[in-house]
Amino acid sequence: MKYVFVAVNGLALVALGLGAFLLSRVSADPMVPSATVRVPATQPIPPQEQARLDELATELDRFALFMESAPGADATGLLATAQEPPDVLVPRPDLLADVDRDQADEQPPAPLPRRQLSVVLDGPRPTAVVDGRVVQEGDRLPGEAEVLRIDTDSVVIAERGGRRQRLVAR
């Protein structure tokens, strides 16, 4: 009985070895089709744009390190979204800077357009995300507005008519 067991185990090992041998031959056979992955051709990124992307990546890394080191920091308000802000918002005194007070005596100023500051990235050329658009100093925004200054936590915008609006990152 023990010889039958040894014989059956021997046959099983031979069958297993033969199966492994045949499988290796099939996978090496050039007649067997193999799967190919086609990668679409892409255009290389121009060096100037690649340099700007590298700068932004460095600034994001610095920002991530800052957020990790700041106790109790909450970055949920810094999430950039593509939401359209409402057309107008009544101005808040704590968000305004350099508003022309001479006109306040004559008539109440028209409400400033609502602007949403999502992210400020500090660096050699400060960058911010206002109303879902990436902007730098001197860039134009809808409504004949211009980005005057980008600070570490705020952006100053000149609205139509010369009125200024200061957006603060929360």
Structure tokens at 78: 């810094």
pLDDT along the chain (170 residues), means of 10: 78 83 66 63 83 86 76 59 53 55 59 85 86 90 90 89 85
The radius of gyration computed from the CA coordinates of the chain, to the nearest angstrom, equals 32
Overall pTM > 0.75? no
Measured in residues, the chain has a length of 170
Q: Which CATH code fits 78-168?
A: 2.30.30.830
**pLDDT tens digits, one per residue of 23-58:** 776 655 555 555 566 767 777 888 888 888 888 888
CB distance 138 to 125 below 8 Å = no
Which residues, 6+ apart, have CB-to-CB distance to 1 below 8 Å?
Answer: none
The domain ranges of the chain are 78-168
CB distance 156 to 97 below 8 Å = yes
